[in-house]
Amino acid sequence: MAKLKPLAGYVLIEPMDEQETTASGLVMPEKAKEKPGKGKVIACGEKYHDFSAAFPTPFVNCPVKKNDIVIYHKWSGNEINNDNKNVVLVKFADLQAVYE
């Protein structure tokens, strides 16, 4: 896989496909599923300067680390095909939760 390093304020995520099954046991086809909002962190950009933040903490550190499983806004980020593998580049602000 080509080495991608997100710039300041961004996280590179590998989406995790979850097989969806209806109550009657039918497996949902790929095209009927919603875009995944869960994924594994591949890389994290450096902290960035947030000019809208109140003094004295204008720098925002990456809120996650490599290999964390995160939930992010379903329609956020940019999808990138990296060596035939789909990844998503998401802003720090679009991350919603981290599995512990």
Q: Enumerate domains of the chain plus CATH numbers.
A: 10-98 (2.30.33.40)
Closest CA to 20 of 11, 29, 7: 29
Residue with tokens 């999808």: 79
In 3D space, the residue among 4, 1, 3, 2 whose CA is nearest the CA of residue 78 turns out to be 4
The pair of structure tokens assigned to 30 is: 């790929």
Confidence check: pLDDT of 90 > 70: yes
Over the stretch 14-29, which tens digit does the pLDDT of each residue have?
Answer: 998 766 666 777 766 6
Residue with tokens 């790929």: 30
What is the C-alpha to C-alpha distance for residues 25 and 98, in angstroms, rounded to an integer?
29
Is residue 92 a contact partner of residue 44, using CB atoms and an 8 Å limit? no
Task: Flag whether pLDDT at 1 surpasses 60.
Answer: no
Looking at mean pLDDT, say which of 1-5, 34-38, 71-75, 95-99 comes out highest: 95-99
pLDDT digits (tens, 9 = 90+) for 24-61: 777 666 555 566 689 999 999 888 776 766 666 667 78
